[in-house]
Amino acid sequence: MSAETLLNAALVATPLLVAGAAALRRRVQGQRATDAGPGAVIRAFITLIGGSSVATIGAAGLRGGAIDAPDLTATVIGSAIGGLSAVIMILSESRPERLGLRGASGAAWLAAITLPAVNIGLSSAWVWLLSSVGVTQTTQALMDDMRGAESPALLLGVLYATLGAPIAEELAFRGLLQGWLAERRGAVPASVGAGLMFGALHLADPVAVLPLMVFGVALGELRRRGGGIGPCLLAHAGNNALAVIVGLSA
């Protein structure tokens, strides 16, 4: 095995090793989830974003591709590893109640079913409005890769978009970040703040930032009014599933 292969394998494994080591250390030392301050939030998002990037670079190298233009499989593997690492870190540092891991109201579940269709409709209207004044939309790189992918890679992409990404992002934004902000700024500012940051995370797709901010705030209100993040997970997964269907059929 070459040194380059070992380096790439190490890059893929690093986020999981770091998150796992931190969780194991807490367990060995008998530390319970303490809802640490801003440090816990910063660590989670560095792991989610930075860990995904590092693992993607390693996965692209292992697949013999360019690290600045990873294929769909490398992107999904790297993003999934970064997301899983963030989930491990979040769950090891925060109490389930603070993350919203509890039951939700029936009204919240009903809203979660209808919210994806509403959001896709509003997003389509936003894209049409921009196109009418000459602003063209650039599709997400992940969607472009999925259109030309073979069946195994396409399945990985769909599973990540509809399950992996919603789980990691909802735990990070509606769970950890919104829970932390609510304790310091109040429930409504927390849902708005976490929602705006959710949209800002998608700056790579500028046209989608505003609709995603609106969607993020709606998810925040769903968490605040419903009591738990279960409906948020359902709405996020449904929204991504609809987006994939629309994107692949375009």
Q: pLDDT tens across 132-164, in order?
A: 887 766 656 667 777 777 778 889 889 999 999
What is the tens place of the pLDDT at every residue in 78-90?
A: 999 999 999 999 9
Task: State which of 67, 95, 123 marks the end of a domain.
Answer: 95
Give how many domains the chain has, as a whole number.
2
Specify the pTM.
0.91
Higher pLDDT, 127 or 120: 120
User: pLDDT value at position 25?
Assistant: 82
CA distance 85 to 166: 14
Handedness of CA 99, 108, 239, 151 (dihedral sign): positive
User: pLDDT value at position 54?
Assistant: 95
Quick one: 141 and 62 in the same domain?
Answer: no
Quick one: 175 and 200 in the same domain?
Answer: yes
Mean pLDDT of 40-55: 92
Q: Which DSSP string corresponds to 76-129?
A: HHHHHHHHHHHHHHHHHHS-TTTTT-S---HHHHHHHHHHHHHHHHHHHHHHHH
Per the structure, the complete domain to which residue 229 belongs is given by 103-250
Cα angle at 37 between 36 and 40, to 5 degrees? 65
Quick one: 134 and 180 in the same domain?
Answer: yes
Quick one: 34 and 69 in the same domain?
Answer: yes
Quick one: 74 and 2 in the same domain?
Answer: yes
What is the tens place of the pLDDT at every residue in 65-121?
A: 777 778 889 999 999 999 999 999 999 888 888 899 998 999 999 999 999 999 999
Quick one: 133 and 22 in the same domain?
Answer: no
Task: State which of 51, 79, 95 marks the end of a domain.
Answer: 95
CA proximity to 143, closest of 165, 121, 128: 165
Task: State which of 95, 128, 153 marks the end of a domain.
Answer: 95
What is the tens place of the pLDDT at every residue in 193-248?
A: 999 999 998 887 788 889 999 999 999 999 999 989 999 999 999 999 998 888 88
Q: Which pLDDT band holds residue 2 (cuts at 50, 70, 90)?
A: confident
Residue 19 near residue 89, CB atoms below 8 Å: yes
Q: Is the pLDDT of residue 64 over 80?
A: yes
Quick one: 149 and 236 in the same domain?
Answer: yes
User: pLDDT value at position 109?
Assistant: 96
* 78, two tokens: 């790297």
